[in-house]
Chains A and B, each alone.
Chain A
Amino acid sequence: RKEVEQDPGPFNVPEGATVAFNCTYSNSASQSFFWYRQDCRKEPKLLMSVYSSGNEDGRFTAQLNRASQYISLLIRDSKLSDSATYLCVVNMGNYGGSQGNLIFGKGTKLSVKP
């Protein structure tokens, strides 16, 4: 089983739509969680951290369910500029000698159309 799994998409949505991405992770020892955004042929950039209590940053809401080992990202009122690949990322801390490295999902591609 892959460590971090995401639906690759693409998700094609009209401007103004609400879209949700899901991600599951296999290691219950995982300690911290992030969503990164990667534009075409660019480097990944941190979008937001994901906290157990859920957190919101403008139009973006992230949720974590530790019991189900599941992370979500909700984007409201989609903009054309939201078009990108969204990477689910998990940090296992110092479990198993991993030195706290980040494990990336393959990403979910979002395309927002006019």
Chain B
Amino acid sequence: ETGVTQTPRHLVMGMTNKKSLKCEQHLGHNAMYWYKQSAKKPLELMFVYNFKEQTENNSVPSRFSPECPNSSHLFLHLHTLQPEDSALYLCASSQDPGQPYGYTFGSGTRLTVV
């Protein structure tokens, strides 16, 4: 069972809706990440949080708004999305951003924008 939990698993939303994705990690890690995985594309890093401070925003449109209230929780707030934003959104955590041993991923939220 993964130590990183994401909810919801599936989400269908209209372009005018506002929704939020939630991620929680129980591993005691200090860094958390949002990745986007679209069909036929590699995983794309969106945001990085280290000790709940945002350390990287990888040129993500403002319709995606992250929030990290503490080191264990990460949210991705969504508003006025486009159909091309439909993808699998993966949360991950690691002990710290520089650690060389890889990340633990959540199961992802499969988002469909209609």
Contact = CB atoms under 8 A, between A and B. Distances in A.
**Is the pairing of A and B real?**
yes
Nearest to B58: A101
B98 A44 contact: no
Q: Chain A CB within 10 Å — which of B99, B102, B108 has the most?
A: B102
B48 interface: yes
Contacts of A98: 56
A32 B2 CA distance: 23
Contacts of A101: 33, 45, 48, 56, 97
Contact of B102 (A4, A42, A46, A105): A46
Given A42-B107, A104-B43, A106-B40, A99 B97 contact: yes
Contact of A43 (B48, B50, B97, B106): B106
Contacts, number: 63
Given A43-B105, A43-B108, A99 B90 contact: no
Contacts of B110: 41
Residues of B contacting A: mostly: loop
Given A43-B2, A106-B42, A32 B100 contact: yes
B88 to A, nearest CB: 8
Contacts of A93: 98, 100
Interface of B: 2, 33, 40-43, 45, 48, 50, 55-56, 88, 90, 96-108, 110
Given A99-B97, A101-B33, 13 more contacts: A4-B42, A34-B102, A41-B88, A41-B110, A46-B103, A46-B104, A87-B43, A93-B98, A97-B56, A99-B55, A101-B45, A103-B45, A104-B43
Interface of A: 4, 31-32, 34, 36, 41-46, 49, 87, 89, 91, 93-94, 97-107
9 contacts: A41-B110, A46-B101, A91-B100, A100-B97, A101-B56, A102-B103, A106-B40, A106-B42, A107-B42
